[in-house]
Amino acid sequence: MFFDVLTLFPGMFDSPFADSILGKAVERGLVNITAHHLRDWAEGKHKITDDVPYGGGDGMVLKPEPVVSALRDLKAKRPQARVLLMTPQGKPFRQQHAQMLAGEESLIFVCGRYEGFDERIRSMVDSEYSLGDFVLTGGELAAMAMIDAVARLVPGVLGNRDSALGDSYSDGLLEYPQYTRPADFEGMKVPEVLLSGNHAAIAKWRRRQQLLRTLIRRPELLDDACLSEEDRRTLDDLLQDQADGHL
């Protein structure tokens, strides 16, 4: 899968994707991540990429010419690529978006800077995303986070193809608690069910824990989660326990 990033600071992308799982995925050719310097498409002796905003105001605005020229060149190489704009005005990025985008062959990320970008850039954008209701100094960190979230879902990137299935948000719920050795750490013991070897009981316990954690920490997620009839019965029991003050 190809990830192209249009940015004024391409050096920011060197280290985050050089190590660990994504570093290995790059080495194996499963993903290709390239940061392109926006100034390479700027015109004139000084390669200017920004200018003062019409109508006045503080800060500088990215000019449309270099961004549009860059996107046209990148799209000429990979016509099917989806263009994603990093902006606080975009829709909040969610796990379901990562799952959808992982099915694409190529993505192009446009990273804004300064006071933003000329509005006419939006004519070449397919989707706009934000990491949340806060403002960063630029879109690079948002693009890195999205690339990480999408790339790990590309087949072959994770060692076990089922590893992502139990992640938080993969099915609309938070992930269940995880434990490893030792079984007793400073008096804090691993739940007995996880030591039982009874896989059906373990699966039931984990699902209950997912519902419990989501109910306590992110109850709003339950409105859109895909729940079975057994899940709903378990949730009713948990809600009763909550009402009785047992949670």
Residue-wise pLDDT for 166-181, tens only, equals 677 778 999 999 999 9
- Reported residue count of the chain is 247
Task: Return the CA Rg of the chain.
Answer: 23
Question: Which pLDDT score, from 0 to 100, does residue 114 have?
Answer: 85
Cα dihedral 204, 208, 209, 212 in deg (nearest 10) = 180
d(CA 126, CA 81): 10
Q: CATH topology for 168-243? A: Trp Operon Repressor; Chain A (1.10.1270)
What pTM was computed for the model?
Answer: 0.89
List the catalytic residues: 88, 115, 152, 167
Percent of the chain with pLDDT over 90: 92
Q: CATH topology for 2-151? A: Alpha/beta knot (3.40.1280)
Sorted by where each begins, the domain ranges of the chain are 2-151, 168-243
Reduced DSSP (H G I as helix, E B as strand, rest coil) percent helix, strand, coil of the chain, to 5: 40, 20, 40
Confidence of residue 61 (pLDDT cuts 50, 70, 90): very high
d(CA 84, CA 140): 12
